[in-house]
Chain A
Amino acid sequence: MRTRFQQEMENLREKLLRMGGLAELAVDRACQAYTERDLTRCQLVLENESLINAAEREIDELAFDILATQQPAATDLRFILAVTKINADLERVGDQAVNIAERVMDMIELPAAELPVDIARMATAVSAMVRRALESFVEGKAELAQAVLEMDHVVDRMRDEAFIVLVRKMNEEPQVTQQALDALLVARNLERVADHATNISEDVIFWVLGADVRHHAQAASAAQRPERQEP
């Protein structure tokens, strides 16, 4: 048993989980800031971005060190590749949270408008996707990750619906165009966060099953592959 190697892998896993927590918190805060028009939460999101960026660099460095010094193979190799990709996705989740927070800061300057879109519901769905994607990583379970992939269609539909109703609103009430446009951009940011949660789930499936399910490959069939032969 390679004790030091296993310790380094565990260290990498913990660092990624901490980063996942930071990214998840950033999205939740940005969404709450939107629904409550809360400047303080926006500022917290902006301030914490540097923590996420620092965590990204730290995880990449450790993954790079393990690759260079330990020559991992099989499930360990897939784990490290998955971690580096999830790391990049989480950093972008943080960026999307910052985009939402900046958008909210602009919105707060404008008069509140009644918009026919439920951003809070979309935010709840997206947060759940990020949380479950991270849970699938923690548990190392492909079926949990698979469930996240299926949620992405729901969020895509919400974004499409938001686009239709908000464009209609802009045509009907041009005086709230700026507020509607802000809401539209927030919906788009949330949809991007969902895409990152999907990427994370695909990476978890790759790590656990060794199956590449990106770009519409049949994840379901991969998840149903026969179990590894036990001695």
Chain B
Amino acid sequence: MGVGITVERLNAFYGKTQALFDVNITVQANHATALIGPSGCGKSTFIRCLNRMHETIPEARVEGKVVIGDLSVYNGTSATQLRRRVGMVFQKPNPFPTMSIYDNVAAGLKLNGFRNRKQLDEVVHKSLHSSALWDEVKDHLHKKSGASLSGGQQQRLCIARALAVQPEVLLMDEPCSALDPISTGKIEELIFQLKEQYTIVIVTHNMQQAARVAEFTGFFLLGKMIEFDKTEKIFTNPSDKRTEDYVTGRFG
């Protein structure tokens, strides 16, 4: 099951440049939360702070408190331990090109020393089912490489790979921006189903996508969380004029 996320006074820096300013947010378990905002507003930086990817950039640092379930992300939790519970899917599908479909999904488990073949089969089967890819790849799990799939299939393969380690939270950074409308529709349908089991945080430039898949939406601008509310409120009657101007296309 998914877990909630609490973020308090989160500040993120790239060297001397501050990218996030005192962000506070509570993400509800087993819901999809969308983060929107113009390019450079800090939404991707924010999502990368949730699984400690931000600090992998030289001179980047984070201040503040992030709690995912019972894990205090910046206080005594190792990045490896954290990322087992927080999966991530990126803008561009990035399957391991030389691995088969099966090995792509099993990679995370194998990396963690999981070797039982029967159990691995079960996890791969379940993960590919959950990512709605099973029917399309079941006949060539070992024959075809991940890179041989279409863009939309590759992205669902990456989702299956993230799900295989049984995370509680799934972070998605513009997961559909490189996909056609049909593949996008499949991923959105998938997000809808996945939130029954996982907590999903999705960064998107596509406001209609946020409106379609997320129960809650946060609007970022210049590194600040301007407004966070139920999605329907953000898209029908936001409280802040800056949110209104962004969702109506008056800037951004």
Decide yes or no whether A76 CB sits under 8 A from chain B. Answer: yes
A71 at the interface (CB under 8 A from B): yes
> Does B249 count as interface, using CB distance less than 8 angstroms?
yes
Q: Are A228 and B239 in contact (CB under 8 A)?
A: yes
Q: How far is the CB of A176 from chain B (nearest CB, A)?
A: 54
Is B240 a contact partner of A71 (Cβ separation < 8 A)? no
Given contacts A78-B236, A210-B236, contact A73 B241 (CB under 8 A): no
Q: Does B250 contact A (CB under 8 A)?
A: yes
Q: Which residue from B236, B240, B250 sits with its C-beta under 8 Å from A77? A: B236
Are B241 and A229 in contact (CB-based, < 8 A)? yes
Interface size of A by CB at 8 A reads 16
A75 x B244 contact (CB < 8 A): yes
Known pairs A73-B207, A210-B236; A2 contacts B244 (CB<8 A): no
| B247→A74 contact, CB < 8 A | yes
A-B CB pair tally, cutoff 8 Å? 44
Could you say which of B211, B236, B240 has the most chain A C-beta atoms within 10 Å of its C-beta?
Answer: B236
Instruction: Please state if B237 and A78 are interface contacts (CB–CB under 8 Å).
Output: yes
Q: Determine whether A174 belongs to the interface, using a CB cutoff of 8 Å to chain B.
A: no
Chain A residues near B207: list those with CB within 8 A.
71, 73
> Across the interface, do A74 and B241 meet the contact criterion of CB distance under 8 Å?
no
How far is the CB of B231 from the nearest CB of chain A, in Å?
11
Contacts of B242 in A (CB 8 A): 231
Contact (Cβ within 8 A) A228 B241: yes
A interface residues with partner B (beta carbon < 8 Å): 1-2, 5, 71-78, 210, 228-231
Residues of B within 8 A of A (CB): 207-208, 211, 235-244, 247-251
Beyond A1-B251, A74-B235, A74-B236, 11 additional contacts (C-beta under 8 Å) are: A5-B249, A73-B235, A74-B238, A74-B243, A74-B244, A74-B247, A75-B244, A77-B235, A78-B237, A228-B241, A229-B240
